[in-house]
Amino acid sequence: MAREQEGSVVSSIKSSKELKQAELKGESISISDEQLIKAIERSIKAVEGPMTSLDFSIHKQTKQIMVKVLNKDTGEIIREIPPEKTLDFVAKMQEMAGILIDERR
Residue 105, pLDDT > 80, answer no
Helical residues (DSSP H) of 25-75, grouped into ranges: 33-47
Identify the band that residue 104 occupies on the pLDDT scale cut at 50, 70 and 90: low
Output the pLDDT for position 94.
Answer: 87
Output the pLDDT for position 38.
Answer: 82
Q: Which of 39, 41, 13 shows the shortest CA–CA distance to 25?
A: 13
Output the pLDDT for position 66.
Answer: 92
| 29/26 Cα distance (integer angstroms) | 9
User: Considering all CA atoms of the chain, what is the largest pairwise distance in Å, rounded to the nearest integer?
Assistant: 60
Q: How many CA atoms lie within 13 A of 67 on its CB side?
A: 8
Residue 91 backbone zone (phi > 0: left; psi -120 to 50: alpha; other: beta): alpha
Which amino acid appears at position 75 of this protein?
G
Output the pLDDT for position 103.
Answer: 57
Quick: pLDDT tens for 12-66: 666 667 777 777 777 766 677 777 778 888 888 888 888 888 888 999 999 898 9
